[in-house]
Amino acid sequence: MYLSKTNIDCIRNICALTLSIFFLSLPLLSGQSASEDRAILITGTSSGIGLRMTELLSTNGFFVYAGVRTAEDYARLDAMDNVQAIQLDVTIQSEIDAAAEFVKAQGKGLYGLINNAGVVVLGPLIELSEEDMQFQLDVNLFGPYRVTKAFADLLIESKGRIMTTSSISGILAGQRMGAYSMSKHGVEAYTDALAAELERFEIQVAAVEPGNYKSKIMASMVERMEKSGHTSEHSRYGSMLDGLGPLDRSNFKEPDDVAAAALHFMTSIAPKRRYMVVPNEFEAKITIQQVLRELVQLNDDQPFSYTRDQLVEMLDELLEENEKK
């Protein structure tokens, strides 16, 4: 049967709505209501995923401290209901410390933290400058480390929840995206280690792994490259932008499903450790396939290799364990 573009778009919209309804219909925290006005800090809220998270959480019973870097974004976010904008660059320790003191002084406590601020740096790893690599890791990996550390006491006091925005690039890796993937692979490890360390304090920790949604992250990357005078003249690879797909993401799907995942994590009695949220089946498939590919590579011709049947049995046990959560 032939499907027109209109029909395909309709099916995609229905699937997106179904996913949002799924997240929102899962069990919520017993006794929680909109009137409780629990406080959450979200970094990187000026646009894209962070802005949508702020909009959704602030209209669903949470008071949001919205981290921004510019005066213009501060005014715009601060004008929203149930939102208090905060000057917060995750690479500047003094701003992080000031934000922590400000939140403490408000007396609302802090139930949740969403480390969302992120950037992308492109370039072949054998040509990428150390300065660019440092910038990539400083924002995406050291940022969550710094912010979480600064707000740890408040979160321990509330037995709260911490989510960090990772990416399917925390599973995948490819040419010219190495620095970004390294930062997001680091977020995956950070999430697991942090969860193990904070379990004693009854704090839930998760990562959300979005696929390709509407955002300004690529546009910001191109702007930084232009300001730095980037040229492909001396590169072995030509232009860093070749073959990367659309850099303009303004026509991509809105990140509503990613925000819905954050809402589920902050409200569910059974939050997940990982929320892979992608706009299409292709992105889900390549991500899951990569996890399986790594399993096969790890198991290949090593002294303690498992048979296919043993691997299937392990998978069945893990699926059963997950269903019981």
Q: Which residues are catalytic?
A: 180
Tell me how far apart the alpha carbons of residues 35 and 159 are, in angstroms, rounded to a whole number: 19
Residue 123 identity: G
Token code pair at residue 169: 């690039």
Q: Cα angle vertex 129, ends 126, 130, to 5°?
A: 105
Dihedral of alpha carbons 156, 157, 160, 164, sign: negative
Tell me how far apart the alpha carbons of residues 49 and 210 are, in angstroms, rounded to a whole number: 9
Token code pair at residue 325: 């959560």
Tell me how far apart the alpha carbons of residues 280 and 288 are, in angstroms, rounded to a whole number: 13
Residue 88 three-state SS: coil
Contacts of 247-252 with CB under 8 Å at 24 or more apart are 247/218, 247/219, 247/222, 248/218, 248/219, 249/212, 249/213, 249/214, 249/215, 249/216, 249/217, 249/218, 249/219, 250/214, 251/214, 252/212, 252/213, 252/214, 252/215, 252/279
Pairing of strands 112-115, 62-68: unpaired
Tell me how far apart the alpha carbons of residues 45 and 13 are, in angstroms, rounded to a whole number: 25
